Amino acid sequence: MLDETAKGVFTIAVTPFTPDGAVDWDSVDRMVDFYIAAGATGLTILGIMGEAGKLSAEESLGIVKRVVARSSVPIIVGVSAPGFAAMRALADQSMQAGAAGVMVAPPATLKTDGQIVTYYHNTAEVLGEAPFVLQDFPLVTDVVVPTSVILQIVEDCPTCVMLKHEDWPGLDKISALRAASGKGARRISILCGNGGQFLLEEMLRGADGAMTGFAYPEMMAQVVAAHDAGEIDRARDIFDAYMPMIRYEAQPGLGLAIRKYTLAQRGVIAHDTVRKPGGALSAATKAEVDALAARQAVRLAGLGL
């Protein structure tokens, strides 16, 4: 079961499809193996980048079972839903299938501090004993969650054990949360998203690792490891080597297709198919990714990686 001590790299998994849009189960297995080999200490499935919204209820459950069966590391399942009945159904099924916890993003209808707190009170009640991750991703959810609200949820809901941090800008928020836990607030795990764009700064502010899906997940493992070993300059060298690609993949909307293209190029998944709505990359975009990858490889070789 997931708890507040979780750290390292929980990779956000894509959902591989065949060219006709069906779930590509063989690629699911290969992807799980790849992520773990790249240093994942956990996996998060059915998140926004897992195209969760585009799956039927049956497909979602199928993926949970497949990944849990294959994985040697804990699995977190995204269970955000328009309503609590659907959330409860997927959460219960996932926990029964062996997931370590679930993740919930706030719906766009929430406007005030009090509405957000109430929503997570309801969420915690619906989820029962399942530990959950609060996903704070305003760029996509359009819900701004103040630090005080996160702290309130942490105080009120013992099953909230982790923050998926991807507010932007969000570095001072990490500092504020850590300062609060220094003064007695329960300390939960903070894993950071945003494609890894601020990973090193986030670690230095007190984060416990990354939860994101950059197509070179070894970057996250390497940066976190170097940071944890106190080798900050080394961490910066690695981080900077990947930076042009991190930036490029972080383009909203397009990012998932870039990520799948790279994973397919790397042989992890068989196809770079994205379900509709969501299109294929242009030839020019693919060429840009290729050029960035080639230069990145040279820089990494220079670092002995």
Listing DSSP states for 205-222 in one string gives: HT--EE----S-HHHHHH
Give the phi and the psi of residue 114 in degrees, each rounded to 5. Answer: -65, -35
Count the site residues for its own copies by CB under 8 A: 60
CA proximity to 116, closest of 88, 140, 135, 91: 135
The least CB distance from residue 30 to its own copies, in Å, is: 22
Residue 277 in contact with its own copies, rule: CB under 8 A: yes
Question: What is the spatial distance between Cα 99 and Cα 132, in angstroms, rounded to a whole number?
Answer: 11
Name the residue nearer to its own copies (CB basis): 33 or 201. Answer: 201
Question: What is the spatial distance between Cα 282 and Cα 241, in angstroms, rounded to a whole number?
Answer: 25
Six token digits for residue 181: 């836990």
Residue 93 in contact with its own copies, rule: CB under 8 A: no
Residue 29 in contact with its own copies, rule: CB under 8 A: no
Residue 244 in contact with its own copies, rule: CB under 8 A: yes
Residue 281, judged by CB atoms within 10 A of its CB (0-12, 13-18, 19+), counts as middle
The least CB distance from residue 67 to its own copies, in Å, is: 18
**Part of the chain binding its own copies (CB under 8 A), chosen from 52-60, 152-160, 183-191, 264-272:** 52-60
CA 207, distance to chain mean position in Å, is: 14
Name the residue nearer to its own copies (CB basis): 63 or 263. Answer: 63
Residue 18 in contact with its own copies, rule: CB under 8 A: no
Residue 86 in contact with its own copies, rule: CB under 8 A: yes
**Part of the chain binding its own copies (CB under 8 A), chosen from 28-36, 106-114, 207-215, 260-268:** 106-114
Q: Which of residues 117-176 bind its own copies (CB under 8 A)?
A: 118-119, 122, 138, 144, 146, 148-149, 168-169, 171-172, 175
DSSP 8-state secondary structure symbol assigned to residue 142: -
Six token digits for residue 126: 């619906």
- Using the rule CB under 8 A, which residue among 62, 113, 225, 286 binds its own copies? 113
Residue given tokens 């998203």 in the structure block: 193
- Using the rule CB under 8 A, which residue among 55, 73, 151, 264 binds its own copies? 55
